[in-house]
C-alpha cells in the first residue's frame, strides 16, 4: 500500500496526504480480504469475537510457497 500511495501521490501537501491515507485506510476496512477468508476486517472481528467471548483472536499465519 505504501509504494502504491507514494507512486500515485508524489506532490501532495501534508493535508492532502493525510486525507488520502485516511481514504485508503477506510477502503481497506470496507473491502474483503483473501487472508481473512474473503471477509471484511469488521466481519472477521465480529465472527471471531462471537465465537470467543474473551475477545482474543487466534490467527493462523499461512505462507504461500512458490
pTM of the model: 0.48
SS3 percent helix, strand, coil of the chain, rounded to 5, is 60, 5, 40
Contacts of 27 (CB under 8 A, 6+ apart): none
Digitized pLDDT (tens) for each residue of the chain, 66 residues in all: 666 666 676 667 888 888 888 888 888 888 998 988 999 988 988 888 766 666 565 666 666 676
Residues β-bridged to residue 33: 39
Cell triple for 10: 508524489
Q: How far apart are CA 10 and CA 29, in angstroms?
A: 24
The confidence score (pLDDT) of residue 19 equals 87
Amino acid at each position: 500500500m505504501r509504494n502504491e500511495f507514494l507512486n500515485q501521490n508524489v506532490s501532495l501537501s501534508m493535508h492532502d496526504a493525510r486525507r488520502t491515507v485516511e481514504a485508503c485506510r477506510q477502503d481497506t476496512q470496507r473491502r474483503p480480504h483473501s487472508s481473512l477468508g474473503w471477509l471484511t476486517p469488521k466481519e472477521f472481528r465480529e465472527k471471531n469475537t462471537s465465537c470467543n467471548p474473551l475477545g482474543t483472536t487466534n490467527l493462523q499465519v499461512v505462507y504461500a510457497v512458490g
